[in-house]
Structure formats: structure tokens, C-alpha cells
Amino acid sequence: MLDNRNKIAYGLLFIFVAGFILIILKGLTISQPGDENVYYYMGKLINEGKIPYKDFFFAHPPLHLYLIALIYTLFGFNIVILKSIPLISVLIAAFFIFKMAKEKFGNAEAIVSSLLFLFSYSVMFNSAFSFGIDVATMFLVVGVYFLCNKDNYILSGAFFGLAGITRLLSLVPILVIFIIVLFSNKKNFLKLSSGFFIIFLPVNGIFTLLFGDNYVTPVYKFHLLKSFVSGENFREYSDIIKLNWVLFSSAILFTFVKDKKPIRMFVITSIIYLMLLMALKKIFGFYFVIVFPFLAIIGGYSIVRIFRAFNLSKKWCIFIIMMLSSVFVWNLASDIMFLEKIGFAGFERGKDLIDFINSVSNKETMLFGDDSAVPLIALMTNKKIALDFVDTNSQVFISGVRNLDKVLNDLKGKDILFIIRSTQGISYFNGVKDFLNKNCEFLSQFHDKIEGSYLVYRCA
């Protein structure tokens, strides 16, 4: 039976979840350009019998993509149901953060930790976009829970294995945790690593055996071959800290906590992960989500322990809680406004583009071009992407993993609508501009306030 304090804690968690869903509801119902559309279209390809790494380029381990393919098989292209993957993943992660903190530290720490995690800007934003990092984070958090709270090393390792075959970035905190466990108890390390490799090795082994370098290169080598853009990385890093300043500020408070031992693993993992991000050739905002559960637990523990250390009177406690709550609510309100206006703005010219494409094409006409918008437009117009080449991210060609000249040459003679974005993407290459000028006819331009201008060409 739950006592009154436990009932209040779970009641607050329920309120947090309900509020969280209300905040991101708009993001669940709109479609807009982004990497998730690449994965949605690839899910459609799998549903048609195509195989990643063999029939089309895919730059990540397979689990997230096959999860999308399963949803696509059951429900078809339903944007709300597809977006439920990151939402459900985030809510499960939040629940296990709550359970972990509650069982290890107490109700107050559980409440604050889940609050910090759920209402950080990046978690709210990414819960409406299926980048795969959300699924990996969920598996990682569940694995940590069974490790720290249940001493079930084999099950913990298995969940770590699931995270590892979802997104490679999860391997960084997993490796750190492995090293910590190795130094504390070798027997437990063997159990943990056994659970991990039971999942991780067979999946990677089967795909490597079947597809060889066609699997190893895009999944592993590709990320090491990306070009380095230090200025962009620094801006991305600083922007994430600014957008999630409450979470980062809370975590930094661990320096003022006397008893750091209960959160030592979370602190070490967080520091190493954040340092590694600084060394990557290219980072994106969603990369940080992997470490947010650790930062939230550190912040929740630190805030409560510091608060208790002052041993304040009831009046002062109420006053400080009200002050901190006011700052938190003010920041949350500004985040919600930003999400409404920018984060969940939708695809301003999407309907115009779709109507235009339908009016100037026939059933056999295929699409090609910008990786963030073309897969979405293809799904909404029920058209194929030429060559099944969905991920046209500029790094795919800059890294040398795929040859742009060969791809463009293979497009010649096909009935294609080639869509590029003026500000980024495949339009970065002069070879693309030359190809369009020599082989294609410019049809129209659509300016989007957020995404820039989309240019549509007909190539035949």
C-alpha cells in the first residue's frame, strides 16, 4: 500500500506527464522538415520489402528503423502515431528516472529529478521528433535502473545492448559505466557485459556477415569521416546550455553537496559524455538528450540535499520553494512560447509544395533532393524517391561514403522533380547546381520563413 507521501509523489508525476503532453501536443500533430522524415520514408521502404544497408543507405544501427517500419506496417503513414515513438520513449524514461531517484534517495529527489528532465527544452522539443536518440535514451535509463536499483546486471546489460543497436552515442555512457563496474566488482562486470553482448554482438554480427562493408561503413566509419566545423559546434553547444540552463545549473550544484558518493557514477558519466561531444567533428542538439537523465538525477539530488543542509524554518522553506518555482515557471513559459512559434511551427509552404508537385507530375514521376523535406513530400504525395536515395545529407558525400557524381549520373534520363533548399542540404555542391542547369528545367520557388526557399526543377 502507498502511504500519503508516496501518493503525493506519484500524483505529482501524473500531473507532470499530463502537463508535458499538453505542451507538446501541437508538435505531435504537425509535420515539418527534418531528419525524422528520412526515417519515416525508410520505414516505408522496409514495408515494401527493401533492406537497409543493401537496398538503401542508412547511417545508424537498425533497431529504431525497424521499430518505425513496424508502426508503418500496422498503421501506414500516420504522423501522430509515428511521433508517438519518441513521446512514449521520453515518458518511460521519465518514469524510470522517478523510480530510480525515489528508491535510491527519496520522494523529493524523485519529484525534482523527473521535473527537471521532462520540462527541459530539448526533451520537450525532441519528444515530438523521431530521431532515434529518444529510444536509445529510454533503453539506457531502464538499464541504469536495473543496475543501480535492482543489482540485476544481466538484464541491465541487455537494455544497454538494445540502446547500442539503436544509436551509437549511447555506447559512450555505457562504456563509462562498464569501466566503473569493472573497478568495483569484476564478477558483476562479467554479468553486465554478458547481458550487453548477448544483444549487441549477434545483431552487429548478422548485419556485418550479410552486408559487410555496406553495414560497417555507414554505421561506424561514416561518423568518423564527417567534416569538422568548430564554429558551428561551439554555437550548438552554447545554444543547448542556454536553452536548458535550469537543468545544467541544477546539475552543477553537485559541487556544493557534501555526500557525492550516491551520484558519483552519474557525475562521472555526464562529465565524460559532455567532454566527448566537444571533440566530435559535428554535433546536433539532440545528441545531448542521452545525458539529460543523468543531469536530472544529479540536479534533483543536489537541490534537495543542499536545501535540507540549511535546516531552515517552515516559513523560509515555503518562501524559497515559491521563489524557485517562480523562476522555473517563468522559464517554462518562455520555452513553451518558443516551441509554439518556432519549434512546432510546422511546414509553412508544405501544402503549397505538395499541391504544386501534384499538379505538374504524373504517377510515374519520382522525387529527389533535400533530405529534410523530400521524404515528407514523397510520403504525402505517395511518390517514390529516385534510386531509393533518401538520406542526401551533405556529409554523406563530403565524407566520400557515397559518390555524388555517380548518383547524379544515375538520375539522368529519369522523370524526376528535383527539390533543393537554398540555405542548406544537397544544394551545397556545385556539381548539383551544374547538373540542374544542364539537365533540368526550373519550375518554381517557394519561400518558407523558417526553412528558407525551396526550388523545384523538372529533370527528364
What confidence tens digit (pLDDT) does each residue in 55-99 have? Answer: 999 999 999 999 999 999 999 999 999 999 999 999 999 999 999
d(CA 149, CA 146): 6
Contacts of 9 (CB under 8 A, 6+ apart): 98, 102, 107, 110, 111
d(CA 315, CA 292): 32
* Count of Cβ atoms closer than 10 Å to residue 387 Cβ: 15
pLDDT for position 55: 96
Backbone angles phi, psi at 232, to 5 degrees: -65, -40
H or E segment to which residue 453 belongs: strand 452-459
Contacts of 305 (CB under 8 A, 6+ apart): 257, 258, 259
What confidence tens digit (pLDDT) does each residue in 388-418 have? Answer: 999 999 899 999 999 999 999 999 999 999 9
Contacts of 224 (CB under 8 A, 6+ apart): 281
What proportion of the chain, given as a percentage, has pLDDT over 70? 98
Q: How far apart are the first and last CA of the chain?
A: 71
d(CA 373, CA 266): 38
- Average confidence (pLDDT) over 263-282: 93
- Average confidence (pLDDT) over 228-235: 74
- Average confidence (pLDDT) over 429-450: 93
Four-point Cα dihedral 241, 142, 144, 289, nearest 10: -10
What confidence tens digit (pLDDT) does each residue in 357-379 have? Answer: 999 999 899 999 999 999 999 99
CA distances from 348 to 39, 380, 448 (A): 21, 15, 6
Closest CA to 161 of 205, 196, 114, 213: 196
In which residue are the cell numbers 509544395 written? Answer: 353
Residue type, 397: F
d(CA 120, CA 299): 12
**Adjacent-strand bridge partners of 454:** 421, 446
How confident is residue 453, by pLDDT bands cut at 50, 70 and 90? very high
Backbone angles phi, psi at 366, to 5 degrees: -105, 165
What sign results for the dihedral spanned by CA atoms 75, 81, 84, 85? Answer: positive
What confidence tens digit (pLDDT) does each residue in 233-259 have? Answer: 888 999 999 999 999 999 999 999 999
Asked if 44 and 66 touch (Cβ cutoff 8 Å), the reply is: no
How confident is residue 230, by pLDDT bands cut at 50, 70 and 90? low
Backbone angles phi, psi at 440, to 5 degrees: -135, 160
User: Residue 103: is its pLDDT beyond 90?
Assistant: yes
Closest CA to 235 of 281, 286, 283, 275: 283
pLDDT for position 89: 98
Cα–chain center distance at 321: 32
DSSP string, 58-116: --S-SHHHHHHHHHHHHH-S-HHHHHHHHHHHHHHHHHHHHHHHHHHT-HHHHHHHHHH
Backbone angles phi, psi at 280, to 5 degrees: -70, 150
pLDDT for position 280: 85
How confident is residue 351, by pLDDT bands cut at 50, 70 and 90? very high
In which residue are the cell numbers 565524460 written? Answer: 272
Higher pLDDT: 382 or 321? It is 382
Rounded to the nearest integer, the mean pLDDT of the chain is 93
What proportion of the chain, given as a percentage, has pLDDT over 90? 85
- Average confidence (pLDDT) over 326-351: 93
pLDDT for position 5: 81
- Average confidence (pLDDT) over 180-203: 97
User: Residue 1: is its pLDDT beyond 60?
Assistant: no
What confidence tens digit (pLDDT) does each residue in 125-177 have? Answer: 999 999 999 999 999 999 999 999 999 999 999 999 999 999 999 999 999 99
